[in-house]
Chains A and B, each alone.
Chain A
Amino acid sequence: DTAVSQTPKYLVTQMGNDKSIKCEQNLGHDTMYWYKQDSKKFLKIMFSYNNKELIINETVPNRFSPKSPDKAHLNLHINSLELGDSAVYFCASSQSGVRTLTDTQYFGPGTRLTVL
């Protein structure tokens, strides 16, 4: 069983479109994350949610919005896609309670987004 899953694995779309990436974890973890890894392989955190509370919100364009319908899901919505949004997006989860973030993060397989 996959612990952290993401769909789709690949996403190719035109500039200006709106798209969503889904993430689900079956580990019973309290905290979920979204990361962006650019072409230079630099992994940067975008958001972190704990029990539906946004606890990390790095400076990302407001075109990006996380949506957490429940503890096991954290979806990423992107509006008005731009060329610079092309990257690999990783979802992750950890057991950590609020504001500790001490635990191992388990990453999903990534979604490779290409904006044309």
Chain B
Amino acid sequence: RKEVEQDPGPFNVPEGATVAFNCTYSNSASQSFFWYRQDCRKEPKLLMSVYSSGNEDGRFTAQLNRASQYISLLIRDSKLSDSATYLCVVILYSSASKIIFGSGTRLSIRP
């Protein structure tokens, strides 16, 4: 089982729709979680950190479920500009820190 797994998609949704996708992680010692966004042929950029209590940033909501070991990203009122690949990132701290990126979920918003 991969340490971090994401549905690769693509998710193809109409503008204005609400879309959500999950990212599961296998190591219960995982301690920090993030969502990054990567546009085609560009570098990844931080979208938001994911906090235990869940957090919201405008149309984006991130949640963490430690019991089931997944994080989620919800996008409301999707815009064409939301089309991108969304990468989840998990950081483990033990004897050696480990940063693991998921393979990404591709989202395509259609007019």
Interface residues of A (CB under 8 A from B): 33, 35, 40-45, 48, 55-56, 90, 99-102, 104-110
* Smallest CB separation, A12 vs chain B (Å): 16
- Known: A48-B97, A56-B99, A110-B43; 10 extra A-B contacts, CB below 8 A, are A40-B103, A41-B85, A41-B104, A43-B101, A45-B99, A55-B96, A55-B97, A106-B46, A108-B43, A110-B42
Which of B's residues lie within 8 Å of A, judged by CB? 32, 34, 38, 42-46, 49, 85, 87, 91, 93, 96-101, 103-104
- When A and B form their complex, what is the total count of cross-chain residue pairs whose Cβ atoms lie within 8 Å? 53
Across the interface, name the chain A residue whose C-beta is closest to B40: A41
Residue of B nearest to A35 (CB): B101
A45 to B50, CA, bound (A): 20
- Chain A, Cβ-Cβ closest to B85: A41
Q: Which residues of A contact B49 (CB under 8 A)?
A: 104
Contact B44 A44 (CB under 8 A): no
Which residues of B lie under 8 Å from residue A106 when comparing CB positions?
A: 46
CA A5 to CA B34, docked complex, whole Å: 23
